[in-house]
Amino acid sequence: MAIENNNVVTLNYILHTVEENGEKTFVEQTTNENPLTFLFGVGMMLPKFEENVQHLNVGDKASFELAAADAYGERDDKAVAQLPAEMFQETGIPPVGEILPLQDNQGNQFRAVVIEVSPEAVIADLNHPMAGKTLNFDIEVLAVRPATEEELSHGHAHGIDGNEAH
């Protein structure tokens, strides 16, 4: 069965970032025990990622690169927030490098990385950690099946076999 919209896709991948000189840096890898399972065609994945896996079948392997513009965008040097130290009275001032879970006025959740700390403020980088990076994927398709009505109504996959873990 070829991957199409409203299919549940299970695949393994190895992700590297690619430097301008072509050198690859390992980022992460899935395993057969913990593969990536997602509902194809509903906006869960990067559009160019889906474009590269569409029409593949179980057992197919593919390698492809996504330019930063097709992945998490270019880095925006202005995407920094100065958070008042009072925000952290209960939890304590986070160290440089810590990832902060934040929420905007519309309720959208995102993460920021602490890049500087002073007694008055915490400076956080709001760019996605993969912003500005070319991504290289090596994938292997493990399973493809039609999504269940429940998965379609929920807008996400309920695991390899369609049963959501409770």
Instruction: Give the class (CATH, top level) of 7-72+131-154.
Output: alpha beta
Provide the percentage of residues in the chain whose pLDDT is more than 90. 79
User: Which residues face 122 on adjacent strands?
Assistant: 83, 117
- Residue 110 near residue 90, CB atoms below 8 Å: no
Structure tokens at 157: 């996959």
80-125: which CATH number, 3.40.250.10, 2.40.10.330, 2.40.110.10, 3.40.630.30? 2.40.10.330
pLDDT for 165:
54
Number of neighbouring beta carbons within 10 Å of residue 82: 11
pLDDT digits (tens, 9 = 90+) for 112-127: 999 999 999 999 999 9
> What pLDDT score was predicted for residue 164?
60
The whole-number pLDDT of residue 104 equals 82
CA-angle at 86, arms to 91 and 92, nearest 5°: 20
- At residue 66, the pLDDT reads 97
Please tell me the predicted confidence (pLDDT) of residue 161. 76
Q: What pLDDT is recorded for position 166? A: 42
pLDDT digit string, tens, across residues 92-108: 999 999 999 888 888 88
pLDDT for the residue numbered 29: 97
Question: d(Cα 118, Cα 26) in Å, to the nearest integer?
Answer: 33
Residues of the chain with pLDDT under 70: 163-166
Q: Give me the residue spans of the domains in the chain.
A: 7-72+131-154, 80-125
Within 19-160, strands assigned E span: 24-29, 36-39, 61-66, 80-84, 99-103, 109-117, 121-125, 134-146
pLDDT at 149: 93
Q: How far apart are CA 161 and CA 57, in angstroms?
A: 17
